Structure 1
Amino acid sequence: MPRYTGVRTFARCPHVSDLTDVDAAVVGIPFDTATSYRPGARFGPEAIRASSIILRPYHPDLSVDVLGSQRVVDYGGVSITPGNAVRSAEQIADALGDVVRAGVFPVVLGGDHSIVLGELRAQAARHGPMSLVLLDAHADVWDDYYGERYFHGTPFRRAVEEGLVDPRRSILAGMRGTVYSEEDVLQAKTIGFEVIGCDDLRAMPPREFARRVRERVGEGPTFLSFDVDLLDPSCAPGTGTPE
């Protein structure tokens, strides 16, 4: 069957609601009303799935049959509440809690970055405080923005406050762009995160970055979060906060 036909699931993986014997599940979270600049990330899961139909299972550089070595499925999307970041975080935690408790590895497609708080709640409920590896143009550790404490720029401060993330075992990388004051630059370090700025990250060989990450996070459970605004806007022009 041609790859452009059929139901659009991630990489043409089967769409299931039963997680029996599943290793990893792709989950969409189409929420973007906690963004401060440009909406549209609600269509991210749909767009990623549509683009992924060309993905094939075998990775020649790593000599790994990615989709053949384990059972990967598309679990559909989380039901969220547009305009309500607090309630949506609860809905995300509940929905992903089912995935995590089943022993399935969730691969989440967003969505603005506020959704990560619900993800971390689900993971920490099973694994305890997580190490965090964040690749992002922003540290997302503001206390509030426009008076809102649950926002796309605040999730990792909330996560530390709730005991979901241990900043002493976490590393944030890729930060760049203008900010309001020096305090914005220092906040993540003050909380306890290790921070690697964009220029330093670009100059760092990948193996050195991997070494820094392993040294920082240790052997405990680790959460990886990638924000598309890490990329140059010429490569990802649809991001909500281009830098």
Structure 2
Amino acid sequence: MPKRYAPVSGLESPRFAGIRTFARLPYVRDLDGVDVAIVGVPFDTGVTYRVGARFGPAAVREMSAMLRTYHPSLDVDVYEVLSVIDYGDLPVVPGYIEDSYERIESGLRPLFDRDIVPLVIGGDHSITLAELRAVARRYGPVGFVQFDSHTDTWDEYWGKKYTHGTPFRRAVEEGLIDTRRAIQVGMRGSLYGPEDLDQSRALGFEVWTTDDMRRTGLGAVSEAIRRRLGRGPVFVSFDIDFLDPAYAPGTGTPEVGGFTTREAQELLRGLVGVDVVAADVVEVLPAHDVSGITALAAGNVLFELLAVLAVNRRTSTVT
């Protein structure tokens, strides 16, 4: 019988006990029998304002202990369908972004070689470029949905091309994203000028600001996301500052007027049927968190993604 990895039950062992892994999953480096791997990338020297997201993976793991196995809204027991592990953290080089990119990409390669879906905990948003390089090596240019308050398509900061504000311009330039199947949702906050949004559109992204989303409604936004992504492999990137600072104060560049955790859940559940091959949750900064609510939100974003993957797998097995 093939291996199947699942969390330790809170009915068998108290949730405050044991070494912290995501959702109390086993820490495993053997990839046999694995469908999904939780991967930490504790790198934050791509930030332009507040550092500290290097501690994000540890904080999210700590606050994920209360996550159980069954998702009632999607009616799926995640670990009856998926074999999931915590793969630990990938090696990075603090202060050296391009060296870290090489290590992140090579660290993810064994997962993609086995068609294992990585769910990455950042770290700042600069790491997503390395992830996309690894994804594109396996799948070619992929569809892309970004939940964020910033487009992260600026050309440079202080003459530097690699920061957490530039990864998706670089990704388009490198041919990692199929921009015909790419969408950014949640953009808000003050800008340097109108060109800040126009530059994303010029690169080929469909862009939904928070104002657009409020006027249209989340149901219509979910439909627009699915329509834009279409068929084929998709990368999902969730910057925790998509949420309003009331729900996610622990982040590097907070913007007011954002979304609730409940609204984020609704949008993520709208990804059922989308071929998600990799995803990340980034920019959790524990030093500015309040009672761990940002890390708790990030852990639940990952659980929503796991549930989507489980429903998709169950449906494909049935059909």
- What's the TM-score bracket when you normalise by the shorter of the two chains? over 0.9
Deviations 1:77-96 (A, max 9, x none): 01001011111111111101
Shift of 1:200: 1.8
Runs of at least 5 residues in structure 2 that lack an aligned partner in the other structure: 1-12, 256-319
Deviations 1:29-88 (A, max 9, x none): 000111011111111100000000000001122211012221010000010010111111
DSSP-derived class of the 1:6 partner? coil
Q: Which amino acid aligns with 1:142?
A: W
- Which whole-Å CA distance do the structure 1 matches of 2:204 and 2:176 have between them? 14
DSSP-derived class of the 1:53 partner? coil
2:156 counterpart residue number: 144
1:164 counterpart residue number: 176
Q: Which amino acid aligns with 2:48?
A: S
The answer on 1:57 being equivalent to 2:41 is: no
DSSP-derived class of the 2:126 partner? helix
Shift of 1:203: 3.9
2:311 counterpart residue number: none
1:34 counterpart residue number: 46
Please give the TM-score of this superposition, normalised by the length of structure 1.
0.97
Of residues 212-221 and 28-37 in structure 1, the stretch that sits farther from structure 2 once superposed is: 212-221
Counting aligned pairs with the same residue, the percent is 53
2:103 counterpart residue number: 91
1:235 counterpart residue number: 247
The answer on 1:7 being equivalent to 2:19 is: yes
2:226 counterpart residue number: 214
User: Which of 30, 43, 47 in structure 2 is aligned with 1:18?
Assistant: 30
Deviations 1:93-124 (A, max 9, x none): 11011111111000000010000011001110
Deviations 1:159-200 (A, max 9, x none): 001110011210000001111122212110111110000122
2:185 counterpart residue number: 173
* Number of residue pairs the alignment of both structures matches: 243
- Which whole-Å CA distance do the structure 1 matches of 2:198 and 2:73 have between them? 39
Sort the Cα spacing of 1:221 and 1:6 in 2 relative to 1 into closer, same or farther, 3 A: same
Q: Which 4+ runs in 1 deviate beyond 4 A?
A: none
Shift of 1:204: 3.7
2:210 counterpart residue number: 198
Q: Which amino acid aligns with 2:166?
A: T
- Which whole-Å CA distance do the structure 1 matches of 2:253 and 2:37 have between them? 28
Sort the Cα spacing of 1:136 and 1:126 in 2 relative to 1 into closer, same or farther, 3 A: same
- Which whole-Å CA distance do the structure 2 matches of 1:202 and 1:123 have between them? 32
- Which whole-Å CA distance do the structure 2 matches of 1:55 and 1:143 have between them? 39
Sort the Cα spacing of 1:50 and 1:204 in 2 relative to 1 into closer, same or farther, 3 A: farther
